Amino acid sequence: MIFLYRVINNLKKLFIFKQLSQVIATSMIFLCQDLKHVSRIA
């Protein structure tokens, strides 16, 4: 039973980590687009 709990806990951590990395990746893409836009104006 404890083993099952640990597995579920690890899966939750993995899921959260995947979500976080996706969010970071999208933010980086948006940031790059913004920088290109700004450099075009300048």
Is the predicted pLDDT of residue 42 greater than 80, yes or no? no
Per-residue pLDDT tens over the stretch 5-29:
999 999 999 999 999 999 999 999 9
User: Can you tell me the distance from the alpha carbon of 17 to that of 10, in angstroms, rounded to the nearest whole number?
Assistant: 10
User: Can you tell me the distance from the alpha carbon of 22 to that of 29, in angstroms, rounded to the nearest whole number?
Assistant: 11
Quote the pTM value: 0.59
HEC assignment per residue over the chain = CHHHHHHHHHHHHHHHHHHHHHHHHHHHHHHHHHHHHHHHHC
| DSSP state at residue 1 | -
For the chain, domain boundaries: 1-42
